[in-house]
Amino acid sequence: MENQATERERICPRCGEGSRQWKYGRNASGTQKYRCGHCKRIYTLKPKRHAYDEQTRELALKIYYSGASGRAVGRILNMSKANVYNWIKKNNDDRG
């Protein structure tokens, strides 16, 4: 039995081809880019779901509002500070 489904998720978002999808370096944030051998489209694969769940988000906000900086929160929870600031901003918007 051979596993033939390994590279299957790499599908061109433009023409839908799943073959001849080549690696094409990485963008500034380190995401792998691909290039379609059919239509020459260069694209990145979207993450399937949110990287962090609701619990992590609440924990991040709790730490932040207890006096830590966004950068410290990021370091504690091992995520980017931009992500933390996004959550803080969103939280502020929700409260008006």
| Long-range pairs for 83-91: beta carbons < 8 A, 24 or more residues apart | 83/52, 84/60, 87/57, 87/60, 87/61, 88/61, 88/64, 91/61
Among 41, 76, 77, 79, binds Zn ion (CB under 5 A): 41
Among 26, 38, 71, 75, binds Zn ion (CB under 5 A): 38
How many residues sit in the footprint of Zn ion (CB under 5 A)? Answer: 8
- Specify the residue, 38 or 90, whose C-beta has the smaller distance to Zn ion: 38
What are the residues binding Zn ion (CB under 5 A)?
A: 12, 14-15, 17, 36, 38-39, 41
